[in-house]
Amino acid sequence: MYRRILVGVVAQGQTRDFLSAMREANTFQTERGIRARTAVWGAMTGQNNSVVIAADFNTLEDLEKWTDLATEDSRFAIVRREVRSAMIYEDSEVSILRLAYHSEGLMTSEDATAPRKYMRVLHGDVKPGSHREFVLSVSVALDYQKQRGIDAHTSVWSKMTGHTSGVSIVAEFDSLGELEKFDEMAVTDAEFGRLRAATRASMVFLTSETQLMRNLM
């Protein structure tokens, strides 16, 4: 599975127009046979009007079909321009990521990968030669939290563009209560802290901050 990411800021007073344009763009591409699950995430920490547009594709072929449509279809270009007109971009570059690990297995099912309501994201780089240890430590920590009743879908995404050693650890929750349970266990459970430290030991962090986001669409 592949993910196309665009990060920006919604202009003041433009949230309704932005989401309306996003829905229109989704309908347009779906009607033309583009298989993509697109979610819009709004920041809960940091700059609170920043958004992430994440489009997931089952195959590279699906992603390429979307790119062809964006390049060749003038009507789609107009629809997408409506989205962009409500945004102020942090970065004009689009990031492409590949799904490296999913807590429910490497599945392409829409049901298994459908976005939840809240998302916790940590970005970093995997140290050279440490990728296997990194993925194993993530898997062990996830098994531990699942056994203790933490209901979360967690995925690891590897960058295919830009700095390709970059990874994002994404945990999605259906409620703030589940997210709070995770945070409480991370603070109070020494064994869970040790397991999470093993994951961090194989990474070089781009930032010490964790991003919290909510699903807007």
- In three-state secondary structure terms, 119 is strand
Which of 56, 89, 122 is the endpoint of a domain?
89
Residues 126 and 205 in one domain: yes
- Polymer length of the chain: 217
pLDDT value, residue 32:
84
**CATH number assigned to the domain comprising residue 189:** 3.30.70.100
Assigned domain for 95 exists: no
Q: What average pLDDT does the structure give for the chain?
A: 83
pLDDT value, residue 103:
77
Across residues 21-47, what is the average pLDDT? Answer: 86
Query: Phi-psi region for residue 172, left (φ > 0), alpha (ψ -120 to 50) or beta?
Result: beta
Which of 89, 119, 145 is the endpoint of a domain?
89
Assigned domain for 160 exists: yes
- In three-state secondary structure terms, 108 is coil
Tell me the two tokens of residue 158. 């590897």
Residues 190 and 132 in one domain: yes
Residues 23 and 109 in one domain: no
**CATH number assigned to the domain comprising residue 17:** 3.30.70.1090
pLDDT value, residue 206:
58
pLDDT value, residue 106:
55
pLDDT value, residue 131:
79
Percentage of residues in the chain having pLDDT higher than 90 = 7
Across residues 55-60, what is the average pLDDT? Answer: 88
The 10s digit of each residue's pLDDT in 120-164 is 998 888 888 887 888 888 888 888 888 888 888 888 888 888 766
Residues 133 and 191 in one domain: yes
The pTM (predicted TM-score) of the whole model is: 0.82
pLDDT band of 215, cuts 50, 70, 90: very high
Percentage of residues in the chain having pLDDT higher than 70 = 90
38-61 burial string, b = 16+ CB within 10 Å, else e? bbbbbbeeeeeebbbbbbbbbeee
**Secondary structure of 57-96 in HEC code, one letter for each residue:** ECCHHHHHHHHHHHHHCHHHHHHHHHHHHCEEECCCCCEE
Tell me the two tokens of residue 49. 């009007």
CA–CA distance, 8 with 158 (Å, rounded to integer): 21
pLDDT band of 92, cuts 50, 70, 90: low
Residues 108 and 83 in one domain: no
- pLDDT surpassing 80 at residue 194: yes
Residues 35 and 68 in one domain: yes
Assigned domain for 41 exists: yes
Domain residues for 189? 100-215
pLDDT value, residue 118:
93
